[in-house]
Amino acid sequence: MEINQKDALKYETPRAKLAFLAQILEHDLTPDFVRQRAEIVTNITKAEINALAKKHLAVDDMLMVVVGDAKTLRPQLKALGYKVLDYQI
């Protein structure tokens, strides 16, 4: 399995190594999946990402939580067609 220096730092702790190995086992990944993933991330286009999102994400069934200045954000979100509900903690 090939892991570059930047990726190697992610797996320094025992917990991180265990999570990494669990991911390999759970998804039945090949030994070179890290290289394949890096290649995909490097080469994927915005259009491909948008097509995948459209195919796999049911945006109408999602909730978005936006935190910030309501006076600024509310009109922007409404202009995009989102229903805005205010909550205060």
Its pTM surpasses 0.85: no
- Alpha carbon dihedral 60, 65, 66, 70, in 10-degree steps, equals 100
CA distance 76 to 73: 5
Give domain limits for the chain.
Answer: 5-79
pLDDT tens for 27-73 read 999 978 888 988 999 999 999 999 999 999 998 888 889 999 999 99
